[in-house]
């Protein structure tokens, strides 16, 4: 993280990040400074500590406060079938490759609360591939991983998700994939059957398998260049040759140490294939 000597709170930001790393192993030290500080200040207001230094004191002595801060610092802007054209690209590019394998492994790195994971499960089910897939869904934050496991989302979001699903090339009625009560939509248990949810830290943890496809979308935009390069190395090591890598629309492999190791499959949708 770049230092900001003109910012009187820079030392407090740095100290709180070191405390989180020391006590929880949560490493946000290479995240973009402005984003980290902004989210810390949001939590200062929620916890009513007055200052970032005051928030650190509370974090040191209260694990619940610590968990809430980690949740705030971990970005969770997501939706089912977000960027529908990306899923259309998967149907056109990934699915034909997947049909040539008896079993495929996919990794959703930075899965947040699970919307992207279940979108992928639905797509694979509709393409007749889900029964021979294993999806590994990981995130730094144990709380959001637990939420993702449940597959329960606000009923109020289903109208948006239905539109996304239709634009993504969905072939059924989206309502078939969930049951509803007055407040929540509960996804069908079958969509979780081939998903392994786990806590994994992209910053410090190692590769744990070899995958046919990896999706790490809208995660690295919050990292500095050094951390982006490190994570790209992890993803490269985890992806089989001719496997697919999906990034967010604001992300790229250009200017990374592995830029020459991929070919561009879809420039707009940031879908790449590892060629060496």
DSSP string for 172-184: S-GGGGEEE-SSE
Question: CA-to-CA distance for 67 and 121, rounded, in angstroms?
Answer: 29
Per-residue model confidence (pLDDT) at position 210:
98
188: exposed, middle or buried (C-beta count within 10 Å: 0-12, 13-18, 19+)? Answer: middle
Give the dihedral sign, CA 171/175/179/183. positive
Asked if 229 and 118 sit in the same domain, the reply is: yes
Check whether 163 has a pLDDT greater than 80: yes
Mean per-residue pLDDT of the chain: 93
104: exposed, middle or buried (C-beta count within 10 Å: 0-12, 13-18, 19+)? Answer: buried
Per-residue model confidence (pLDDT) at position 251:
93
Asked if 105 and 160 sit in the same domain, the reply is: yes
Q: Which residue has the tokens 């939706």?
A: 79
Q: 10-19, 67-76, 165-174: lowest mean pLDDT where?
A: 67-76
Confidence of residue 27 (pLDDT cuts 50, 70, 90): confident
User: Is the pTM value of this prediction over 0.95?
Assistant: no
Per-residue model confidence (pLDDT) at position 107:
98
Check whether 5 has a pLDDT greater than 60: no
Q: 27-31, 122-126, 185-189: lowest mean pLDDT where?
A: 27-31
* 78 inside domain: no
Asked if 173 and 122 sit in the same domain, the reply is: yes
Summarised one tens digit per residue, pLDDT across range 235-258 is 999 999 999 999 999 899 998 999
Asked if 51 and 96 sit in the same domain, the reply is: no
Question: CA-to-CA distance for 228 and 67, rounded, in angstroms?
Answer: 24
CB atoms within 10 A of CB 115: 22
Cα separations in angstroms, 154 against 100, 105, 123, 180: 37, 29, 21, 9
**Interval 97-110 mean pLDDT:** 97
- How many distinct structural domains can be found in the chain? 2
Question: CA-to-CA distance for 31 and 101, rounded, in angstroms?
Answer: 37
Per-residue model confidence (pLDDT) at position 121:
98
Cα separations in angstroms, 109 against 27, 59, 160, 199: 16, 27, 24, 10
Check whether 6 has a pLDDT greater than 80: no
Question: CA-to-CA distance for 272 and 262, rounded, in angstroms?
Answer: 6
DSSP helix/strand/coil, 64: helix
Per-residue model confidence (pLDDT) at position 32:
81
DSSP helix/strand/coil, 38: helix
**Interval 28-53 mean pLDDT:** 92
* 126 inside domain: yes
Confidence of residue 71 (pLDDT cuts 50, 70, 90): confident
* 188 inside domain: yes
Per-residue model confidence (pLDDT) at position 28:
87
* 5 inside domain: no
Asked if 29 and 164 sit in the same domain, the reply is: no
Check whether 2 has a pLDDT greater than 80: no
Question: CA-to-CA distance for 214 and 166, rounded, in angstroms?
Answer: 24
Q: In the chain, what percentage of residues exceed pLDDT 90?
A: 80
Per-residue model confidence (pLDDT) at position 222:
79
Range of the domain at 29: 10-73
Confidence of residue 192 (pLDDT cuts 50, 70, 90): very high
Question: CA-to-CA distance for 138 and 149, rounded, in angstroms?
Answer: 11
Contacts of 147 (CB under 8 A, 6+ apart): 113, 114
CATH code of the domain covering residue 184: 3.40.50.150
Check whether 103 has a pLDDT greater than 60: yes
Q: 68-77, 167-176, 201-210: lowest mean pLDDT where?
A: 68-77
Asked if 224 and 97 sit in the same domain, the reply is: yes
Question: CA-to-CA distance for 57 and 55, rounded, in angstroms?
Answer: 5
Per-residue model confidence (pLDDT) at position 141:
85
Q: Which residue has the tokens 């979108």?
A: 119
Asked if 163 and 65 sit in the same domain, the reply is: no
Q: How far is CA 67 from the centre of its chain?
A: 18
Per-residue model confidence (pLDDT) at position 224:
80
């Amino acid at each position: 993280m770049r230092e900001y000597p003109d910012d009187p709170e820079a030392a407090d930001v740095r100290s709180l990040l070191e405390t989180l790393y020391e006590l929880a192993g949560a490493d946000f030290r290479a995240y973009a400074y402005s984003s980290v500080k902004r989210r810390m200040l949001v939590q200062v207001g929620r916890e009513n500590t007055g200052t970032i230094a005051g928030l650190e004191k509370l974090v040191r002595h209260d694990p619940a406060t610590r968990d809430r801060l980690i949740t705030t610092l971990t970005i969770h802007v997501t939706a089912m079938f977000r960027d529908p054209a990306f899923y259309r690209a998967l149907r056109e590019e990934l699915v034909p490759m997947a049909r040539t394998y008896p079993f495929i492994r996919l990794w959703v790195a930075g899965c947040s609360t699970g919307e992207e994971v279940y979108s992928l499960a639905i797509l694979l089910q509709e393409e007749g591939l889900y029964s021979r897939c294993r999806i590994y869904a990981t995130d730094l934050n144990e709380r959001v991983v637990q939420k993702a496991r449940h597959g329960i989302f606000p009923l109020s979001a289903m109208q948006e998700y239905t539109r996304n699903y239709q634009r993504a090339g969905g072939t059924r009625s989206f309502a078939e994939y969930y049951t509803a009560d007055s407040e929540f939509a509960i996804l069908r248990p079958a969509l979780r059957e081939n998903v392994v949810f786990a806590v994994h830290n992209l910053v410090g943890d190692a590769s744990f398998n070899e995958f046919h496809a990896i999706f790490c979308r809208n995660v690295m935009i919050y990292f500095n260049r050094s951390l982006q390069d490190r994570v790209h190395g992890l993803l490269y090591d985890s992806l089989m040759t001719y496997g697919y890598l999906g990034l967010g629309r604001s992300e790229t492999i250009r200017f990374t140490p592995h830029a020459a190791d991929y070919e561009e499959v879809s420039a707009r949708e940031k879908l790449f294939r590892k060629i060496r």
